[in-house]
Amino acid sequence: MPPELSSPAEIVFLDRESLSPETRLRAPDFPHRLTVHDRSAPGEVAERIADADIVITNKVPVRADAIAGARRLRLIAVCATGTDMVDVAAAAARGIVVSNVRNYATDTVPEHVFALIFALRRNILAYRDSVRAGRWQTASQFCFLDHPIGDLAGATIGIVGRGSLGNAVADIARAFRIEVIFAGRKGGPAPDAPYVPFADMLRRSDIITLHLPLKPETRNLIGAAEFALMARHPILINASRGGLVDELALGDALRSGQISGAGFDVATAEPPPADHPLMGLLDLPNFILTPHVAWASSGGQQALADQLVDNIDAFWRGSPRNVVGG
């Protein structure tokens, strides 16, 4: 049976602009009125959801004060996998379901990860910038070899997080004849195969990539102490969550040569202000920052939107799915 909601149900989308205009948002399969906001400032949320039965958000925070004032709210449908922008505990206390979108990005995110890996291992940006600056015209040979180039075959990749994305990255890596190791829990007991102790992963890897949520126990998972253990001067990829890496320590590691490169698709503040630590690294040829778009291929966005509406329809039918914490 469907939940006891008003008829038609009031649905509010707080940040439709977080999806491309080409992404089709299918209408839910029950009577409803949909109010769409391209974007919502934090101070606007409480008023906008006050009479909503269902709220859709991608990155706009839905905090306890806004939840408290939303008298009819029954579902917060997160248009993403991460749910740190929602006060899940406050929602649970009111009996409000929080759902998220899962396993929709198993092509787009791993492909973006490998785009960053290729660019960094082969110094693509450094060579492009050198050619742009006229270096090829002054070369004494048919080529110039100013920047080191590393193969993927024979390298070792350390993957932190063995969910659908971590496993998809591993599948691609094996196709390139890269040795795959999965990191055990940091500070945890000695893990069983195929995991290796976290510190061993840091020491053995030529490439390290992060695929886990941001939680209190994963914040600054990689910091100065971890960079000091990276004996093979790896490249570090973070297409997961800002805050998993200490961004100031990252800058020190890049500038000192402790790591040979970094590719980030996320930051602790999005969009990052001009004085953000990652913005100060953009002059480095071995650092690439993309604007949180690893998930955003056309296919990935459409799969996300379709699953979002599937979640809403399932909730209306009385069979909630992808329930966070449930």
Confidence of residue 4 (pLDDT cuts 50, 70, 90): low
Which is the catalytic residue, given 32, 121, 204, 292? 292
Reported pTM: 0.89
| 226 catalytic residue (yes or no) | no
State residue 2's pLDDT score. Answer: 52
Please say if the pLDDT value at position 186 is more than 50.
yes
Please say if the pLDDT value at position 325 is more than 90.
no
Compute the average pLDDT of residues 7-33. Answer: 96
| 241 catalytic residue (yes or no) | yes
Residue appearing with tokens 């253990």: 229
Please say if the pLDDT value at position 86 is more than 50.
yes
Long-range (24+ apart) CB contacts under 8 A made by 145-151 are: 147/123, 147/285, 148/123, 148/260, 149/121, 149/122, 149/123, 150/121, 150/122, 150/206, 151/121
Compute the average pLDDT of residues 25-35. Answer: 97
| Percentage of residues of the chain with pLDDT beyond 70 | 98
Contact of 232 with 200, CB cutoff 8 Å: no
Q: What does the pLDDT look like over 211-241, one tens digit per residue?
A: 998 989 999 999 999 999 999 999 999 999 9
Burial 266-275 (b: 16+ CB within 10 A, else e): bbbeeebeee
Contact of 8 with 32, CB cutoff 8 Å: yes
| Percentage of residues of the chain with pLDDT beyond 90 | 93
Which is the catalytic residue, given 32, 48, 241, 247? 241
Per this entry, what is the length of the chain?
A: 326
User: Beta partners for 208?
Assistant: 158, 236
For residue 100 the two structure tokens come to 């998220």
Compute the average pLDDT of residues 264-272. Answer: 96
Domains of the chain: residue spans and CATH: 9-104+298-316 (3.40.50.720), 108-289 (3.40.50.720)
For residue 286 the two structure tokens come to 């071995």
Q: What does the pLDDT look like over 36-47, one tens digit per residue?
A: 999 999 999 999
Compute the average pLDDT of residues 129-144. Answer: 96
Least confident of 3-7, 157-161, 185-189: 3-7
CA distances from 198 to 182, 202, 233, 258, 264 (A): 8, 7, 16, 18, 21
| 211 catalytic residue (yes or no) | no
Average pLDDT, the chain: 95
Compute the average pLDDT of residues 137-157. Answer: 96
Q: What does the pLDDT look like over 102-128, one tens digit per residue?
A: 999 999 999 999 999 999 999 999 999
State residue 1's pLDDT score. Answer: 42
State residue 326's pLDDT score. Answer: 55
Confidence of residue 3 (pLDDT cuts 50, 70, 90): low
Which is the catalytic residue, given 39, 94, 255, 270? 270
State residue 272's pLDDT score. Answer: 97
